[in-house]
Amino acid sequence: MVKTMGKYLLRIKYNGKNYKGWQIQPQVTESKTIQGVLEEKLSIILKEKAVLFVAGRTDAGVHANDQCAHFLTNREIVSYKFLYSLNSLLKTEEISVISVEKIEDENFHARFSCRQKTYKFQIFHSRIPDVFLRDFSWQVPLFDQIKAKKTAQFLLGNHDFSSFRDSHCQAKNPIRSIENFHFEQDGNLHKIYITARSFLHHQIRIMVGTIQQIIARNQPPETILEILEKKDRKIAGPTAPASGLFLEKIEY
């Protein structure tokens, strides 16, 4: 009788500063990736090759507070013991596993079952840099949160985001639907939460970079509508740095 493989979901946090993103890059063996580290540690514990299927790949330097990935195994797992063992192996890394959960739904997939994702982008507004936020924010001398909110409202809903995707984006369809923009402020630290089912490559960082450029140039918020309608990456703003971006929440 063939034993049925178990499916387990990991929820993961990481500081992406010293990693080349989530995805293993076989052509660059010296590159350290989140997936590569986790699969190596999982394989040690499971005593079999582990393969992770992720909710959303993050780029080099991007962080996560709630990344999700599942794997299949023939081994029986006791969640709390497994969690302790895995985090013990990760103690020299800037990665921690928050939880491990057995998934009974055979059709569940960490990526394709995802209903929506929320990313957070942090901007630190000051002419004096904050050394403790350097790796976790975009530090700019000027930011106007009221104007940023007005500008962001034009990006809500279903649009062709061709102006806001990287030239190497492989998505066949540039249409995406932004469900929510939410802004919070803690002193000089501004937090922008953006929710959608999926995003184009670098879409969030280009949207944030464009909003910041509109503020810096003292342009009206409606300027972003013109950029959206042109469907041309060249007229949008810069790609904001990866250091400010966090994968904040995955919802199933």
Catalytic positions = 59
Q: Would you give the DSSP letter of residue 228?
A: H
Helices 203-216, 145-152: inter-axial angle, 10-degree rounding:
130
Burial letters for 20-37: b for 16+ Cβ neighbours within 10 Å, e otherwise? bbbbbeeeeeeeebbbbb
Distances from the Cα of 196 to the Cα of 106, 117, 193, angstroms: 25, 6, 10
Contact 144, 116 (CB under 8 A): no
How many alpha carbons lie under 13 Å from residue 239 in its C-beta half-sphere? 15
Q: Would you give the DSSP letter of residue 244?
A: G
Residue matched to tokens 């909003």: 211
- Residue 205 CA to residue 29 CA, distance in Å, equals 27
- Residue 206 CA to residue 186 CA, distance in Å, equals 23
Distances from the Cα of 146 to the Cα of 128, 184, 250, angstroms: 22, 11, 27
